[in-house]
Amino acid sequence: MNVTKQMVLVLTVVGVISSLLMAASDTLTRPLIEQHKREELQQAIFEVLPEAKECERDGGQECKNIGTDELRVYKGLNAANEIAGYAFVAEGPGFQGTIQMMIGISPDLSQLFSMKVLAQVETPGLGARIAEETDKKDFFEQFAGLQAQGMDSVSAGSQKYQGQPTTAEIPNFIQSVKNETPDEPNEIQAITGATISSKAVVSIINQSLFKLRQIIQ
Amino acid sequence: MTTIILAILSMGGMCALLSFLLAGADKKLRVEQDPRVEKVLAALPGVNCGGCGFPGCSAFAEHVVAGDARINGCAPGGQATAEKIAAIMGVEVGSMEKQVAVVLCHGGTKEAARSAVYNGVKTCRAAMFIGGGGKLCYYGCMGYGDCVTVCPFDAIAMNDNLLPVVDPQKCTACGKCVEACPRHLIELHPINHTMFVFCKSQDKGPAVKKACSVGCIACRVCVKNSPIENGIVMNGNLASIDHAICPPSDIVVEKCPMKTIQIVKYDLK
Amino acid sequence: MIIVIRIIANSLFNSVGNIMELKTFKHGIHPEYYKELTQDLATVPMPLPKQIIIPLQQHIGVPCQPAVQVKDEVRVGDIVGNSEAFVSSPVHTSMSGVVKKVEPYPHPGGAMVNSVIIEANEQDQSFPPKKEQREAASYSAEDIRTAVRKAGLVGLGGAGFPTHVKLTPPKDKPIDTVVINAAECEPYLTSDHRMILEQPEEVIYGTQLIMKAVGAKKGYIGIEANKPNALEILRPLLSAADQIELLALEVKYPQGAEKMLIKAAVNREVPAGGLPMDVGVNVNNVTGAVAVAKAVRDGLPVLERIVTVTGKGIREPKNVLVRVGTPIKEVIEFCGGFTPSARKIILGGPMMGIAQTTLDVPVIKATGGILILTDEEISELKPHTCIHCGKCVHACPMGLIPSKLGALVERELYEKLPEYNVNDCMECGCCVYVCPAKRPMVHWIKVGKAVLRSRKK
Amino acid sequence: MEEQLFVISSAPHVNSEETIPKIMYTVVLALIPAMLCAVIFFGFRAVLLIATCVIACVLTEYVFQRTRKKDVTITDGSAIITGILLALVLPPKLSLLSAVLGSVVAIALGKQVFGGLGHNIFNPALVGRAFLQATYPVAMTTWVKPFFYVGSPDAISTATPLALMKFESQATAYWKLLIGYSGGCLGETSALALLLGGAYLLYKECIEWRIPAAYLGTVFILGSVFWLADSSKYPDPIFQLFAGGLMLGAWFMATDMVTSPVTPLGCWIFGIGVGIMVIIIRLFGGLPEGVMYSILMMNAITPLLNRYTKPKVFGSRKGGE
Amino acid sequence: MAEKAVQQTTGIPFLHELKRGVWLENPVFRQILGTCPTLAVTNTVKNSLGIGLATSFVLITSSLIVSLIRKLVPGQVRIATFTVIIAAFVTIADQFLAAMFPAISKSLGPFVPLIVVNCIILGRHEAFASKNPVKASLVDAIVMSCGFITTVVCLGIVRELLGSGSILGIQILGEWFKPWVVMILPAGAFLSLGIGLGLMNHLARKKA
Amino acid sequence: MKYLTIFISASVVNNFVLSYFLGICPFIGVSNKIDSAIGMGMAVTFVMSLTACISWLINHFVLIGLNLPFLEYAAFILVIASLVQLVEMFIKKTAPALYQALGIYLPLITTNCAILGLALLGVLREYTLVENLFFGVGAGVGFTLALIIMAGIREELELADVPVSLQGAGITLITAGLLALSFMGFAGII
Ligand SMILES: Cc1cc2nc3c(=O)[nH]c(=O)nc-3n(C[C@H](O)[C@H](O)[C@H](O)COP(=O)(O)O)c2cc1C
Ligand SMILES: Cc1cc2nc3c(=O)[nH]c(=O)nc-3n(C[C@H](O)[C@H](O)[C@H](O)COP(=O)(O)O)c2cc1C
Ligand SMILES: Cc1cc2nc3c(=O)[nH]c(=O)nc-3n(C[C@H](O)[C@H](O)[C@H](O)COP(=O)(O)O)c2cc1C
Ligand SMILES: Cc1cc2nc3c(=O)[nH]c(=O)nc-3n(C[C@H](O)[C@H](O)[C@H](O)CO)c2cc1C
Ligand code: SF4
Ligand code: SF4
Ligand code: SF4
Ligand code: SF4
Ligand code: FES
């Protein structure tokens, strides 16, 4: 057998066999993996929508995205199959990289139910405290019951962290304060030493809320 | 099922295409080179780690064949690879008679007179510029150990007398020290050469006597007592042993008034 | 007292000089000068020694072959060693006597050099009398060169390059300028200074002869501004027609290095690896110029020279007129001997001179000074690692990175040296002087150059 | 006479008076005003921190050199400087244990693993600080007001002028910046004391003037450009110069001879590079201050600068031989 | 080494081989291979174990195959063939993890796919499996895996202990210990591996 | 602007070597001389640009087009490895000078995790073809930058008195650690 033929043959046979194996393994595992994904999403939705028992489904399988590709929104349904609130995925730049959160909001979009960080790469012990559970009051717990109306409409233009521009049109639905206890119903306290991450969270949520209102209304 | 078929088709297709290309390229673009490069390359682990200091195994192989890379330079390959390469390169280790470096000066601090206090860079090379490092003898060991630093096998050490001593066990006769010694005091000799004139001074007797208590004063006693005719001859002001014909001789050693001629004993296991 | 006034006068002159913009080069250093030890001491002739040692190599180039044999009788000025080679220079005996030995003998350079040892006898020990001075222009260039070669003249600024070679510029490198090097930038040394003060006319005459020999239209005599009296004494002797100009140079080491001097005088840069003639300049030491004058006019070889014997280690610092070949031991004894703390004998100045192991070495043609340093002045060599302060980089007149050169040699990475232009180093020592880590860069550089040279072979 | 041997060595046979310890102790002297200000503003705490760092640095150096069987050179003053400078760039309330950790890292990882004084690539004090910053990010960004030790125990925590500017758009008065009446690291607050020390170092020729000149100049010019472009968004250049660690960095840290270039052109580029980096980090980065990171980053390219900014060799025509 | 190893696998105890993999020719410390995962995913012991086991799985299985077909593969397509085999196993491992242990799969992030190009695997194939019979190759793959796992787990222990005060998520160091955040950051990874390497060399030199 | 952001992010802020831990083996292996660092860097940049294009094409036309996501690793590495090998053979034959400068580094690169990392990250971030190209070039430049800086430092360290046990990879890793510490200053810029 000449070398050329051997080369083609060996590589092709190896390729065929391995693709066969991979495809077989894929066929076996794909349903499981997809199920994990679904469950994960569902779990997150139910976690941020405490009253929801069910979500609006997409052909009976997945929770249906009623939003856009940019802002995924899911409708939560309570035991009575009435709307229990919306869960949406807010995403934007933090101190180091992208922060991704699942947020639950009341059906009239006035009050946050809960916030859960899905992904973040902030500094552990610092920015990462937006997601970490600590012995002190957790940062994310502050979002439960937070008013999302905006008490004033001061522009957010002075915020200097980088990345997504906070355009002046976006109202401060919620706000963060530093070194003092929040006294307005739409305020949360920033994490000491991680103001940047805290403000990023607030700003991402504000932007998403802005878009959410456009979608829902 | 379609997935599996598609997967097989696309993967198989890509493999076939690429291997075809590679095969074609191999025919058309093959570059002739020293066949030993291929062999060395085959002996290497092929990790392409770059740890040898060359960019990749093939580069290392080329340099080995070209002779400017250490044969044992491949860390992942370890000793075994080094041996294989040695075999390919024809560096026959066992067949050659073992040689050992010999330092031909016995004028350490105790024996050699000083001319000045040397306050310069403490290497032999540097001392050469500045009055020979403060020893009166212009030919002897300066004792700053360039040979010691240069030996890749830790085979030379300085003794208390500030003379370098070669460990015959460790010495591989690589010749690094021979090159390093600015006074050309070190020579490589087969281990069956055991009797040496441990002096390189070309000075006349009185000058040598002043400079060193073990220097060759050209008294010709050894020549007279040579065990074989012309076994030891005078080379200028220095006795010279012709190792090819002259066996070691206790009498010569005994008669040398300066104890310049000595017989070394190699203790090799 | 006088010294104090001198210093004040000097500093006054310096400030005047600053206003006048003294000529100089970039970088360099300002070491302590210690010239006041000897600069006002008139030269005193030394009694004749009993025995002289004439090394057969006192120049750069091919060594001489002995022209005499043991037991030969020689007269002052006789040639005792000669060579056919062009780049070489004959040696003469500076005394009448009998050749005792011809054998290797310690040389100021540090090695053993074949030397002719002559014991003085009762013969006449004086030199031929001074002859009538002719117009410099009346000699032909060839006459001057022949006379210079015959007289065994070599550069007296320290390097000892045969002068007749320098006076024979190749056709394609015409010389338009002669610079007489009277900078004497080495601390301590004052022999050039005394030479100007004591024989100013000869300085001018020698300069004229050199200009004639190389066909230069313009001459400069460069003197560091710390020798105002030398400038004063020469100024009235110069006429406009001579085309010779006096230059007051900033007091900075190494102002006397020829490349730096040329930069200061005519603002030309000798190319790296090149020679002054590459920029049309010829540089000669001032004592050398005087020697040229005497060689051409009187046929007088270099038989004696002014040697500054100085330093804290000598009892009576002096400028001494010494016959070439005199062992330095006798010169030192003539100056009252050592003080108890004398520890280091240097032939030449403190920046470039060579430390000696023995007092047997003779004074040679290029020996301008004998410096004796004491215990307190010599620091124990304990080089620290380089702290990258960059002081050496700022000091180096050649624009090198001495710290790197030193470190490369220290780690034996010789192959990287050319990238850092090691061969452009002139071993002036500025870098070592300023180094707070006391690193012996010059020593390393010497080693590095030698290794590169031996590798090239 | 005959018996005594002469000393021989290579030329030159004389040296200047300057030595490494002399330079180092001059720097210590130049740091005294800054240390005094630290003690005045932050009280006994400052003394404690400085002493802890110096002792820890010197001890680490001693232990390291002993274990490596090298000459112990703790008296040359370089470890003392590292200790002082490290202390001066720590927040006043940092725990002493953390300070010790920083000091050990500074000397061990910042200096001795490279072979000790002269061989280190990065500024040891800043290595120590960067390590602490990454190790205890919260403690390293918790500041107290000056004179906290006389005031009431509450409301002592504050922010640095740069953080105030960046996150709250609040300016701090120039006089406060000059004398150091603001939050910040121990030794960075008082620009005046640092200028004094810097001037002394310049006078003593212990530092290369090109580095602070290029550094401060670049910050000033770039600061002006941004300020002129949008003064509502960017602080003014004077503020840029006097706030934060810039003065301390420019006079005492960027000028560390071991970790800065030796060539004149290299020094200019080094200074300009640090300046650009500081402005980028301050104006566009996540952090309010970038002096430390900018110096460390330029330290890293110092070997390259030395290599590619060789001075022109005397007599070389354009582009070398 | 190759021939010797063949003899050794039959004659000399497995322990000796193990020593070779874990100490004498430790892939990370001695051969400086597979440094990327060693640095990237050793911030906790759990991750270290995960990447170690996943890599070992791929190394052992693919070594087996490579050794089996070693005589058939022509030189020019060797790398391509080997990588395809490795990729197949990695894909399978990845799918398996994602299906069975979604949590671990998530925290190992993109480093499971990068096992494909982990230099250790291709390195052992080129150096060993492609030249040796099946049994010897298997032994080699196993001991090298042990070496890799030991190294990453050691590093994981150090980093998790100092970086979070815990091991395998169990708090070890008490309240007094303030975790060194740096240890779980990139810088800490480089520093600890560098220091580890230094210690290792030091010990080895002392022994010698 | 978007392209610039991607480029700067990949080259400096999120440097492959210093913050993603990709391509560490060659980073340690080939950073001992500046000259080889430059050669290697250019070769990596070249291969990364190539990879960025190819991986995008494969991803879009094979993996997504035929819905075979699980072939990702195998297909990428197969194609990259073979193509680099082809390129190497090609320049070795046609441009020996270029081969001496760049080609010799190519075999080192094929099986390096930075390349596959690039391909996978590009897919993950759903870049367009042009964006992916900028990402690839940026990552290559960043790798080169880190390599050259490290080579400069290591050439300097040749003159230093590093403890024997740390010489080589040890001190390189520690230096990389300190470099990573200082690169943290870029956090939040992009
Ligand atoms: C190593 C390091 C990591 C950091 N990580 C974060 C982070 O994850 N999130 C954040 O908001 N700030 C981070 N910072 C930024 C500083 O802590 C910054 O000073 C702080 O955000 C200012 O907030 P403060 O006003 O609450 O102190 C980090 C700083 C450093 C040095
Ligand atoms: C660093 C250095 C310093 C020198 N200083 C002087 C000096 O002060 N006076 C002098 O005449 N020559 C000095 N020279 C020698 C000159 O460079 C040059 O060789 C000499 O002036 C040429 O003249 P000559 O051949 O007559 O000696 C110095 C050389 C060097 C390298
Ligand atoms: C604050 C300060 C600023 C200086 N500015 C300059 C300057 O702008 N230009 C200059 O040539 N020298 C200046 N100098 C003088 C330098 O200190 C030094 O004398 C000069 O750079 C000599 O360096 P060199 O030997 O490398 O030429 C300045 C000195 C100080 C203290
Ligand atoms: C002007 C000057 C500045 C210095 N700055 C620092 C510094 O910022 N950090 C430091 O650790 N050492 C500094 N040193 C001390 C010393 O150079 C330092 O310990 C070395 O970097 C250690 O090798 C400085 C020294 C001088 C002379
Ligand atoms: S190199 Fe030569 S002179 Fe130096 S110590 Fe060795 S034998 Fe003696
Ligand atoms: S350098 Fe070479 S020849 Fe000399 S002693 Fe060492 S091993 Fe032997
Ligand atoms: S490097 Fe050479 S030329 Fe430069 S200062 Fe030093 S000795 Fe002088
Ligand atoms: S003067 Fe000395 S310490 Fe300073 S850079 Fe030069 S060699 Fe280094
Ligand atoms: S494991 Fe990433 S390059 Fe080796």
Note the pLDDT of residue C9: 58
The full set of domain ranges for chain E reads 2-26+38-155
Does C335 appear as a known binding residue?
no
Blockwise average pLDDT, block size 10, chain F, 190 residues: 86 84 84 86 89 92 85 87 83 75 66 84 88 94 94 93 90 94 81
β-sheet bridge partners, residue A103: A88, A115
Q: Judge whether F143 is closer than 8 Å to chain B, CB to CB.
A: no
* Residues D302 and F149: beta-carbon distance below 8 Å: no
Note the pLDDT of residue B49: 58
**E123-134 pLDDT, tens per residue?**
888 878 888 889
- Write the CB contacts of E165 (distance below 8 Å, at least 6 apart in sequence): E171, E172, E173, E174, E177, E179
Note the pLDDT of residue E120: 85
Residue C450 lies in a domain: yes
C27 lines ligand 3 (CB under 6 A): yes
Note the pLDDT of residue D155: 53
D255 lines ligand 4 (CB under 6 A): yes
Chain D residues whose beta carbon lies within 8 Å of the beta carbon of residue A158: 169
Between residues E60 and B24, which one has the greater pLDDT?
E60
Kind and range of the H or E run holding C97: strand C97-106
Q: Judge whether F173 is closer than 8 Å to chain D, CB to CB.
A: no
Note the pLDDT of residue A156: 39
Chain E residues whose beta carbon lies within 8 Å of the beta carbon of residue D109: 191
Whether residue D318 is predicted with pLDDT greater than 80 in this model: the reply is: no
Answer yes or no: do C205 and C170 share one domain.
yes
Which of B120, B121, B131 faces C357 most closely, judged by CB atoms?
Answer: B131
- Chain A, 47 to 106: residues with Cβ < 8 Å from chain E are none
Whether residue D266 is predicted with pLDDT greater than 50 in this model: the reply is: yes
Q: Whose alpha carbon is nearest atom 2 of ligand 7?
A: C425
Evaluate whether chains C and D are touching (3 or more beta carbon pairs less than 8 Å apart). Answer: yes
Chain E residues whose beta carbon lies within 8 Å of the beta carbon of residue A123: 181, 185
pLDDT band for position D162 (50/70/90)? Answer: confident
Long-range contacts of B204-208 (CB under 8 A, 24+ apart): B204/B237, B205/B237, B208/B137, B208/B237
For F18-70, the three-class secondary structure string (H helix, E strand, C coil) is HHHCCCHHHHHHCCCCHHHHHHHHHHHHHHHHHHHHHHHHHHHHHHHCCCCHH
β-sheet bridge partners, residue B86: none
Q: Whose alpha carbon is nearest atom 8 of ligand 5?
A: B141
C258 lines ligand 2 (CB under 6 A): yes
Name the residue of B106, B147, B159, B161 to mutate for ligand 5: max ligand atoms within 8 A of Cβ.
B147
Domain C-terminal end among C228, C263, C298: C298
CA dihedral D199, D200, D206, D211 (to 10 degrees): -10
Atom of ligand 3 nearest to the CA of D212: 1
C-beta atoms of E98 and A15 within 8 A: no
Residue C256 lies in a domain: yes
Query: Which among F34, F158, F159 is the top mutation candidate for probing chain C, defined by the most C β-carbons within 10 Å of its own β-carbon?
Result: F159
Residue C227 lies in a domain: yes
Note the pLDDT of residue E107: 76
Note the pLDDT of residue E2: 45
**Mean pLDDT calculated for residue range B211-230:** 91
C-beta atoms of E92 and A14 within 8 A: no
> Which parts of chain C sit beneath pLDDT 70?
1-20, 380-381
In D109-171, which residue ranges form alpha helices assigned H by DSSP? 124-135, 161-168
C-beta atoms of E36 and F23 within 8 A: yes
Q: How far is the CA of D257 from the centre of ligand 8 (A)?
A: 10
- Chain F, 150 to 189: residues with Cβ < 8 Å from chain E are 163-166, 169-178, 180-181, 184
pLDDT band for position A152 (50/70/90)? Answer: very low
Q: Tokens standing for D129? A: 């600080």
C430 lines ligand 8 (CB under 6 A): no
**Which residues from D are below 8 Å from A when comparing CB atoms?**
137-138, 141-142, 157, 159, 166-169, 233, 284-286
Q: Tokens standing for E75? A: 């030189």
Note the pLDDT of residue D156: 67
Question: Which domain, by its residues, includes C334?
Answer: 306-377
- Write the CB contacts of B48 (distance below 8 Å, at least 6 apart in sequence): B56, B57, E119, F107, F108, F111
3-state class percentages of chain A: helix first, strand second, coil last, to nearest 5 = 35, 20, 45
pLDDT band for position A48 (50/70/90)? Answer: confident
Whether residue B208 is predicted with pLDDT greater than 60 in this model: the reply is: yes
β-sheet bridge partners, residue A77: A54, A83
**Mean pLDDT calculated for residue range B78-87:** 75
The full set of domain ranges for chain A reads 41-216
Q: Name the CATH topology of B35-89.
A: 3-methyladenine DNA Glycosylase II; Chain A, domain 3 (1.10.15)
Does C431 appear as a known binding residue?
yes
Q: How far apart are CA D69 and CA B143, in angstroms?
A: 22
Does C430 appear as a known binding residue?
no
- Chain C, 397 to 416: residues with Cβ < 8 Å from chain D are 397-401, 403-404
In order, the DSSP letters of C195-236 are HHHH-HHHHHHHHHHHHHHHT-SEEEEEEETT-HHHHHHHGG
Q: How far is the CA of B91 from the centre of ligand 3 (A)?
A: 61
Residue type, C230: A
Q: Judge whether B11 is closer than 8 Å to chain A, CB to CB.
A: yes
* Residues C130 and C342: beta-carbon distance below 8 Å: no
E-assigned strand segments in A28-122: 54-55, 57-58, 62-63, 73-77, 83-93, 98-105, 112-119
Between residues C457 and D115, which one has the greater pLDDT?
D115
C89 lines ligand 2 (CB under 6 A): no
ipTM of the complex: 0.85
Order across the sheet with C342-347: list the strands.
C44-45, C318-323, C304-310, C369-374, C342-347, C354-355
Of A81-90, B96-105, C439-448, which has the strongest mean pLDDT? C439-448
Ligand 9 shell residues, CB under 6 Å: E 33-36, 118-119; F 23-25, 112-113
Residue C434 lies in a domain: yes
Whether residue A37 is predicted with pLDDT greater than 90 in this model: the reply is: no
Q: Whose alpha carbon is nearest atom 7 of ligand 6?
A: B171
Note the pLDDT of residue C4: 54
Q: Tokens standing for C95? A: 């005394």
**Mean pLDDT calculated for residue range D153-165:** 74
Which of A169-178, C25-34, D129-138, E166-175 comes out lowest in average pLDDT? A169-178
Give the residue from chain F lying closest to C407, CA to CA: F159
Does C185 appear as a known binding residue?
no
Q: Judge whether A22 is closer than 8 Å to chain B, CB to CB.
A: yes
Complete domains list, chain D, with CATH? 20-307 (1.10.3430)
Whether residue D1 is predicted with pLDDT greater than 70 in this model: the reply is: no
The full set of domain ranges for chain B reads 35-89, 99-263
Domain C-terminal end among C298, C330, C349: C298
Give the residue from chain B lying closest to D4, CA to CA: B116
Whether residue A163 is predicted with pLDDT greater than 80 in this model: the reply is: no
Judge residue F55's burial from the number of C-beta atoms within 10 Å of its C-beta, 0-12 exposed, 13-18 middle, 19 or more buried. Answer: buried
Name the residue of C384, C385, C391 to mutate for ligand 8: max ligand atoms within 8 A of Cβ.
C391
Subunits with 3+ Cβ pairs within 8 Å of A are B, D, E, F
CA distance C213 to chain D (A): 27
**D204-218 pLDDT, tens per residue?**
999 999 999 999 999
Which of B119, B130, B138 faces C380 most closely, judged by CB atoms?
Answer: B119
**D119-135 pLDDT, tens per residue?**
999 999 999 999 999 99
CATH of residue C336: 3.10.20.600
Judge residue B38's burial from the number of C-beta atoms within 10 Å of its C-beta, 0-12 exposed, 13-18 middle, 19 or more buried. Answer: middle
CA distance B210 to chain C (A): 14
- Write the CB contacts of F179 (distance below 8 Å, at least 6 apart in sequence): D300, F18, F146, F149, F150
Name the residue of B174, B189, B266 to mutate for ligand 6: max ligand atoms within 8 A of Cβ.
B174
**Mean pLDDT calculated for residue range E141-167:** 92
Kind and range of the H or E run holding C245: strand C244-249
Name which CATH class applies to B99-263.
Answer: alpha beta
Evaluate whether chains F and D are touching (3 or more beta carbon pairs less than 8 Å apart). Answer: yes
Chain C residues whose beta carbon lies within 8 Å of the beta carbon of residue B126: 443-444, 446-447
DSSP letter assigned to residue E170: E
Q: How far is the CA of F23 from the centre of ligand 9 (A)?
A: 5
Give the residue from chain A lying closest to F5, CA to CA: A163
CA distance C385 to chain F (A): 9
Give the residue from chain C lying closest to B133, CA to CA: C357
Note the pLDDT of residue D21: 94
Residue C139 lies in a domain: no
Helix (H, G, I), strand (E, B) or coil at E118: coil
pLDDT band for position B18 (50/70/90)? Answer: confident
Which of B14, B28, B53 faces F75 most closely, judged by CB atoms?
Answer: B14
- How many other CB atoms sit within 10 Å of the CB of residue C19? 7
Between residues E141 and B131, which one has the greater pLDDT?
E141
**Mean pLDDT calculated for residue range E12-36:** 78
